[in-house]
C-alpha cells in the first residue's frame, strides 16, 4: 500500500510537470502586431479636429466677450455721467434747502433729501404747496438723477458678471483644445522610432501632394461665371494655401477655419463673425444639389465647429488644423461625410 501511494504521487507529479513544461520550439517570443498607420492617422486627425472645434468654441466666447466689454466701457461712461449729473443737481438741491430754511419749511424738505426713495416721497406729498415750481422741478430732477445712477450701476454690474462668465468659459474651451493636442502627441509618442519615421514620411508626402494639387486646382479654377465678389473671396482663399493654422487668427500669415472664411469675404466687402456657428447664421441655407462656388461648408453636426469655402468639383479650401494648415479637401472623404452639417450662401 505504501508502494502504491508512492507510485500514485510520482505519477501525479509527472503529470503536473508535463503541463508546466513547454517545448523549446514554442517558447519563442511572439512578435507584436504591426501598427496600422492608417488608424493612427485617423485617431490623430480626429483629436486635432476636436482641438480645432474647441478653438471655434473659444472664438465664440471670445467674440461675445469683446461685445460685452464694449458695453461695459459705454456703461462706465454712462455711470460717470449719471453720477456727475446727480452731484450737480444736488448742489441745486442744497440751494433749495437753504431757501426753504428761510421760509420755515425745511423739516419736510429735509425728509425728502434723506428719503431712500425721494420720488415716492414726492408722490405722497403735495410738494407744490410747500415750494415754488422751480424748487419742485429741482426735486424731480434729483429723484430722476438718483434713479439714473442706480440703473447705470446695476446694468454695469450685470455686464461685468456676464464678462466674467464668458472669460471663464473661453478658458475652459482653450484648456480643452490644448488637452486634445496633447492627446494627439501622446498617440504619436507611443510609436516606435521606425513607425514614427514612416508616419512622418507619409505626412510629408501628403502635404507635398496637397500643395501640388492645390496649385494645379487654383490655376484651373474657372471663375468667369461666378459672382464678382464671390470670385474675389475664392481667389483670396486659394492664395492662402499652405499657410499655417493658428487659433484666433484671420491673416495674413496665419488662420483658423473661421478666420480664413472671414478674411476671404472681408476682402469681398462682406463682414462675417469670427466663429463658424455665427457664420452659418449669417448665410442662407442651401442644399447639396444647389451648392455653388463660394458657398460655406459646415461640419460637426450638433455644434457647427468647422467651416470651409466650396471651390467647385466637390472640393473646399479650409484651415484644417494645427498640423496641416490651409489645404484643399474633398467632400467625398469619409471623415467629412460623417461630420458634414450643411451649406450656406453668403452672396447671391
**Are β-strands 306-312 and 315-319 bridged in parallel, bridged antiparallel, or unpaired?**
antiparallel
Strands (E), 126-264: 244-245, 254-255
Q: Which of 123, 89, 49 is nearest to 329 (CA)?
A: 49
Q: Which residues pair with 307 in a beta bridge?
A: 298
Catalytic-labelled residue, pool 46, 173, 242, 318? 318
Provide the grid cell at 230. Answer: 464671390
Q: What is the DSSP string of 73-106?
A: HHHHHHHHHHHHHHHHHHHHHHHHHHHHHHHT-H
Distance of alpha carbon 92 from the chain centroid: 51
CB contact set of 76 (below 8 Å; sequence gap of 6+): 156
Q: Known catalytic residue: 242?
A: no
Buried b (16+ CB within 10 A) or exposed e, 288-321: eeebbbbbbbbbbeeebbbbbbbbbeebbbbbbb
Q: Known catalytic residue: 173?
A: no
Q: Known catalytic residue: 46?
A: no
**Catalytic residue positions, numbered:** 257, 306, 318
Amino acid at each position: 500500500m505504501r508502494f502504491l501511494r508512492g507510485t500514485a504521487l510520482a505519477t501525479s507529479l509527472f503529470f503536473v510537470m508535463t503541463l508546466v513544461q513547454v517545448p523549446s520550439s514554442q517558447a519563442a517570443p511572439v512578435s507584436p502586431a504591426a501598427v496600422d498607420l492608417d488608424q493612427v492617422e485617423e485617431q490623430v486627425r480626429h483629436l486635432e479636429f476636436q482641438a480645432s472645434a474647441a478653438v471655434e468654441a473659444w472664438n465664440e466666447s471670445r467674440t461675445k466677450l469683446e461685445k460685452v466689454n464694449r458695453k461695459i466701457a459705454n456703461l462706465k461712461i454712462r455711470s460717470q455721467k449719471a453720477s456727475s449729473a446727480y452731484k450737480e443737481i444736488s448742489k441745486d438741491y442744497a440751494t433749495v434747502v437753504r431757501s426753504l430754511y428761510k421760509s420755515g419749511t425745511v423739516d419736510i424738505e429735509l425728509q425728502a433729501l434723506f428719503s431712500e426713495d425721494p420720488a415716492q416721497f414726492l408722490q405722497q406729498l403735495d410738494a407744490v404747496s410747500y415750494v415754488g415750481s422751480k424748487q419742485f422741478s429741482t426735486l424731480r430732477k434729483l429723484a430722476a438723477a438718483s434713479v439714473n445712477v442706480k440703473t447705470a450701476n446695476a446694468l454695469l454690474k450685470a455686464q461685468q458678471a456676464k464678462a466674467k462668465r464668458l472669460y471663464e468659459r473661453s478658458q475652459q474651451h482653450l484648456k480643452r483644445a490644448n488637452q486634445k493636442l496633447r492627446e494627439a502627441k501622446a498617440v504619436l509618442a507611443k510609436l516606435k522610432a521606425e513607425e514614427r519615421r514612416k508616419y512622418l514620411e507619409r505626412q510629408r508626402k501628403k502635404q507635398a501632394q496637397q500643395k501640388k494639387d492645390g496649385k494645379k486646382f487654383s490655376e484651373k479654377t474657372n471663375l468667369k461665371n461666378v459672382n464678382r465678389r464671390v470670385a474675389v473671396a475664392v481667389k483670396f482663399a486659394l492664395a492662402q494655401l499652405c499657410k499655417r493654422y493658428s487659433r484666433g487668427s484671420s491673416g495674413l500669415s496665419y488662420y483658423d477655419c473661421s478666420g480664413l472664411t472671414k478674411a476671404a469675404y472681408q476682402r469681398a466687402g462682406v463682414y462675417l463673425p469670427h466663429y463658424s456657428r455665427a457664420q452659418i447664421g449669417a448665410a442662407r441655407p442651401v442644399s447639396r444639389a444647389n451648392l455653388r462656388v463660394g458657398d460655406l461648408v459646415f461640419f460637426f453636426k450638433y455644434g457647427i465647429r468647422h467651416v470651409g469655402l466650396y471651390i467647385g468639383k466637390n472640393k473646399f479650401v479650409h484651415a484644417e488644423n494645427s498640423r496641416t494648415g490651409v489645404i484643399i479637401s474633398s467632400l467625398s472623404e469619409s471623415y467629412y461625410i460623417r461630420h458634414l452639417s450643411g451649406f450656406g450662401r453668403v452672396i447671391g
